[in-house]
Amino acid sequence: MDFLNKTVVVTGGANGIGRCIAQEFLEKGANVAVVDVVESKLSHEKLFQYTGDITEENVLKEFTRLVLEKFKSVDYLINNACMSRKGILTGCGFDDFNYVLKLGITAPYMLSLLFKDHFNRGASIVNISSTRAFMSQPDTESYTAAKGGISALTHSLSVSLAGRVRVNSISPGWIDTGAFQDSDNYLPQLTNEDISQHPAGRIGHPMDIAKMVLYLCSEDAGFITGQNITIDGGMSKQMIYHGDQGWILEK
């Protein structure tokens, strides 16, 4: 996959999955523009960093302006940024709920709009959704709603931008992002149970997501658009009943 001198925009690229994605594109020779509320530890001559909150329209417009001023056009937009402010059981209120929606849905839409006329031929948008878009734990409404929204936005954009930009999403499951956070001495604290509940036999790594992002942006994926790719080690496909394989429901 050849990404030499391609231009990539990654939201939430300072830490976690976004940082891994940005790092992989840089290693492949791409120009990378990262926007996040904190500055990344990444350092590279082809990296442009902008610190700001993309729930604010002026930040989105200023970031877009600076990216185009520096790189002139864009090849790939990776809408990764999102967070949780929990849900109905802990009283997630109007402002908190809407903040997550602005971060997880409005910002990806607006960046797609702002870059729409500046995408190069063969361009691709990859939205980072989540298995939370179609399965839940209690008290996760803000994040779940945002991920459900970005999944729907994906297929809508793929039709609107047909023939110009391919648009897909990835739904990660349990991804251990510790090695791509602030700590330089991260040691996983995983149990045998954590691992064995995944049919793949391990927890996910940010590289599992980054590799799929690069594939979906490549010419090899030229016939793929409007799709969601679930990367969760098979966890969402495993049916669980009380008493099955040692699983016990406690309430």
What are all long-range contacts of 51-59, with beta carbons under 8 Å and residues at least 24 apart? 54/11, 54/81, 54/103, 54/107, 54/111, 55/99, 55/102, 55/103, 55/106, 55/107, 57/110, 59/35
Rounded Cα–Cα distance for residues 243 and 251 (Å):
14
Helix ranges restricted to H, the chain: 16-27, 57-71, 94-101, 107-115, 141-160, 192-196, 206-217
Whether 99 is a known active-site residue: answer no
- Collect all residues with Cβ–Cβ distance below 8 Å to 122 and sequence separation of at least 6: 75, 219, 222
Amino acid (one-letter) located at 6: K
Is the CB of residue 209 less than 8 Å from the CB of residue 231? yes
Amino acid (one-letter) located at 129: S
- Collect all residues with Cβ–Cβ distance below 8 Å to 175 and sequence separation of at least 6: 17, 203, 204, 205, 206, 208, 209
* Catalytic pick among 50, 76, 143, 186: 143
- Return the active site residues: 143
